[in-house]
Each structure stands twice: as C-alpha cells, then as structure tokens.
Structure 1
C-alpha cells in the first residue's frame, strides 16, 4: 500500500497518514471518501473518491 515497507501495518497507514490528510483537505472544502477493499482478512486496496464544490 503506497509503497510502504512490509514492516508497516495497513491499519497504521490508514490511521496515521490517510485519515489526517483527509481531515485536513476537508477543512479546505474537499469532500473525500475512501473504501478499504479486503482480500480475505487483509486490506489489499484502498479506493478514493473526491469532489470539490
């Protein structure tokens, strides 16, 4: 995910990188949604959709 090393967990990447970034962009007027896609029990993809009014 996003070329992070295997030692990093996907949940940490989402919690520490993706969510704070989305929160900052939402303060500036963007509407951003993301969906975690799992293969089995592991998150393998994250899809984003965004819109600026």
Structure 2
C-alpha cells in the first residue's frame, strides 16, 4: 500500500486500515493486525485473516 510520506502511522491505522477491517467484518471475515517495530518505529503491519 502506497501512502504519502506525510501520513503518520496512527493516521494510516485510524483512517484507512480500521474502517476497511470493520467493513470486511460485516461480511463474515475475522481480521486482526499486529504492528512490528524496528527500534522505536513501526516498520511492518502483519494481517491475520480468517473466514469462518
């Protein structure tokens, strides 16, 4: 996912990822994510998808 360099991680999570997860959960998916850090910064986001 490409985002502008000016976006902060909290903005990406709050305005992009969390609304998408809520929408997919209404369709039966179970989705969670884990933030992985390198030093003090979040460097990766790992998604876990489950369809019951």
Specify every segment of 5 or more residues in structure 2 that has no aligned partner in the other structure, as ranges.
Answer: none
RMSD between aligned residues? 0.8
Moved over 6 A (4+): none
Q: How many residues align?
A: 52
TM-score by length of 2: 0.90
TM-score by length of 1: 0.88
The answer to whether 1:17 aligns with 2:16 is yes
Specify every segment of 5 or more residues in structure 1 that has no aligned partner in the other structure, as ranges.
Answer: none
The answer to whether 1:33 aligns with 2:32 is yes
